[in-house]
Structure 1
Amino acid sequence: MKSFFKQPHLLAAGIWIFTIALIGGLLTEIGPWYMSLKQPGWKPPDWSFGVIWTIIFIFSGVAWNIAWLSSNQRKEKIILSILFLLNGILNVLWSFLFFKLHRPDLSLIEAIFLWLSVFFIILNTASYARKASVLMLPYLIWVSIAMLLNWQIIQMNSAFIS
């Protein structure tokens, strides 16, 4: 535990990822509006989303730490931190648009930027922290699946088609 607090970047990354997970979880309301949506039969069960996101957030925190420790360049560390901070903001924004504003159409547009943020983290870390980029692949895959689910929800619920 002593060495954990000697690594402020690790503590900061952990706090940031926990905060994003907490805010995203609080924004996610499985209430009457969500339950009334027509959804594709292949959609994973609702309980699995929390499990999947927990794993993704753990992998993200580990990836951030590996990449930070693998880099000796200040510029790389700054870019890495900006990418993870932006990714967290986009993650929360998706939940806000979908669950609070009830706008799957807007959340799908936003999801493109979320996907790109994960892609750029992978691209950025691939040259100096390959393990970190590999740990981010499940996130990219999951956001891709979520985008397809988001798209099909829009298609199945005509109120969102203009």
Structure 2
Amino acid sequence: MTTERPSPRMVGKASPGPSTILSLACLFGFLAAVFIVGWSAGAVTSTSVGGWYETLVKPPLNPDRWIFPVVWNFLYFLMAISAWLVWRTAGSFDKAGGQLALFGMQLALNLSWSIVFFGLKSPALAILVVLALDGAIWLTIMAFLKIDRLAALLLLPYLAWTLFATYLTIGVALLN
């Protein structure tokens, strides 16, 4: 009895991916989900950024207000592309379920930070949320790395900015 060997061209290659239409639909789905979270965070932020937030003492290196939406929109775009790459490379939601669940968890923490910091006006409690977010982003990067290296790398600017946000959050909490 002989066993059939795989063709050398197929060794290490992924199975055929999803159709182009399904792939584009999922890309737009990831973009929509991430930007809905971003819009929601912005809506919560706007309730305090022109009033309460202006009265706070801020740490050194605090950027001008206009920088935040520009950076966040870019990061949300990278996040959506990253999640889509993981789904596409894995070939299905079933195969990428754990990784995408981590992605969803960090996205929920991302929104939670805005709710706690700006909505509840609680910088001290926001420290706990942003530290949890830092950890969740790191776990997501490590999980994505197992499926798609580019997807993991696309989350590094998000982690860097969130670590900067951690510094700002702690600074605001300590100074006020």
TM-score, reference length from structure 2: 0.82
Other structure's SS at 1:46 match: coil
Shift of 1:88: 1.6
Identity among equivalent pairs (%) = 26
Deviation at 1:92, TM superposition (A): 0.8
Taking only aligned residues, the RMSD between alpha carbons, in angstroms, comes to 1.7
Match of 2:29 in 1: 12
Q: Is the 8 A contact 1:4 1:10 kept in 2?
A: no
Amino acid in the other structure paired with 1:23:
S
Q: Which of residues 142, 146, 167 in structure 2 aligns to 1:148?
A: 167
- Taking the aligned partners of 1:61 and 1:72, their CA distance within structure 2 comes to 16
Q: Is residue 2:39 matched to residue 1:22?
A: yes
- 1:42-71 superposed Cα distances (whole Å, 9 cap, x missing partner): 111111000110111010011111111111
Work out whether 1:112 is the aligned partner of 2:131. Answer: yes
Q: Deviation per CA, 1:68-116, whole angstroms, max 9, x where unpaired? A: 1111475541112211211221111100000011000001101111111
Cα distance in 2 for partners of 1:76, 1:146 equals 32
1:59 & 1:148 partners in 2: Cα distance? 22
Confirm whether residue 69 of structure 1 aligns to residue 85 of structure 2: no
Q: Which has the higher helix share?
A: 1
Q: Distance in 1 between matches of 2:158 and 2:57?
A: 25
Q: Which runs of 5+ in 1 are unaligned?
A: 158-162
Structure 2 match to 1:84: 103
Cα deviation, residue 10, structure 1: 2.1
| 1:31 lines up with 2:50 in the alignment | yes
1:50 is aligned to: 69
SS of 2:66 mapped into structure 1: helix
Write the letter of the residue equivalent to 1:6.
Answer: L
Q: 2:157 aligns with which of 134, 138, 143?
A: 138
Letter in 1 for 2:117: F
Q: Is the CA contact (8 Å cut-off) linking 2:37 and 2:111 kept in structure 1?
A: yes
1:99 to 2:115 alignment: no
Following superposition, the deviation at residue 12 of structure 1 comes to 2.4
Larger Rg: 2
Instruction: Provide the rounded CA distance (Å) in 2 between the counterparts of 1:137 and 1:41.
Output: 23
When the two structures are superposed, what TM-score results if normalisation uses the length of structure 1? 0.89
Q: Across the two proteins, how many residue pairs are aligned to each other?
A: 155
Unaligned residue ranges in structure 2 (runs of 5+): 1-18
